[in-house]
Amino acid sequence: MQGAGDIKIKLHRPVEGKIKTVSVKREGKHWSACCSCEVSAQPLPESANQVGIDVGLESFATLSTGEIIENPRCFKNAQKRLRRAQRRISRRKKYSKRWRKAVQYVLNIHRMIANQRRDFQHKLSREIVDHNGFISVEDLNAKGLTSGMLAKSAADVGWSSFLMMLSYKAESAGRKFVRVDPRGTSQRCPQCCKKAPKKLSDRKHVCFCGLRTTRDHASSLEILRLGLSLQDRTKPEVRVCVS
């Protein structure tokens, strides 16, 4: 390694492809080497399955298939433990041995939360890519969503990193991945394409055309319809059949 010479590492899995860069990262007392490799795409067998994904706070995601992915709430579940650990720091003399030990304990909790969130997102994104040939999501402004009253909850779910994982895994697998304009996806009916205004407190979708479902499921169906309309082979007026 440039400037450091040879360094021993614990290789947890074989390195695939040609290594282009190596970055060393420190998290508290934990060190890791991040390798950026040039690898060829690994296309998966073709799949006719199509899915629209509506991400949220109450549930992590609602799929157009009707499946609801529960929110793991990694930060919220560890918040009580984190609060106690932070109080421990305030009771220690700053820069003392016991203070440094308490700080390290807090860092370990934050590291655990990040690892849990990353593990959940990797597994979910892999499952979605493996089972669907076409994936449509909202083109969210994640930075704007994490600056309001719900900033803590929005940061806990980590939409931006999840959508990034979906994007590069879909590209590597040869899947079609489309981002659509999120404006109005919850205010239209995916079956008749007419306006279906709702307040934020309205969690049901009821349309005069006969479609009755949850707000999030209707949004995921509309996201899928918009995604399909962006394809060259699909006309913009295509509608999603709902049984």
pLDDT in tens, 134-150: 999 999 886 767 676 77
Catalytic residues: 54, 138, 216
CB 113 within 8 A of CB 123: no
The dihedral sign for the CA sequence 97, 98, 99, 101: positive
Q: What is the DSSP letter of 119?
A: H
> How far apart (Å, rounded) are the C-alpha atoms in residues 25 and 18?
20
**pLDDT grade for 35, boundaries at 50, 70 and 90:** confident
pLDDT of residue 241: 41
Instruction: Pick the closest to residue 240 from 185, 199, 174, 183 (CA basis).
Output: 185
Of all residues in the chain, the percent with pLDDT exceeding 90 is: 66
In this prediction, residue 14 carries a pLDDT of 87
What 3-state class would DSSP assign to 25? strand
Of the two residues 6 and 143, the one the predictor is more confident about is: 6
- pTM to 2 decimals? 0.87
SS3 content of the chain, % helix, strand, coil (to 5): 40, 20, 40
In angstroms, the Cα distances linking 129 to 92, 124, 159, 168, 186 are 48, 9, 16, 10, 24
Question: Cβ neighbours of residue 222 under 8 Å, at least 6 residues apart?
Answer: 52, 185, 186, 188, 189, 190
**pLDDT band for position 177 (50/70/90)?**
very high
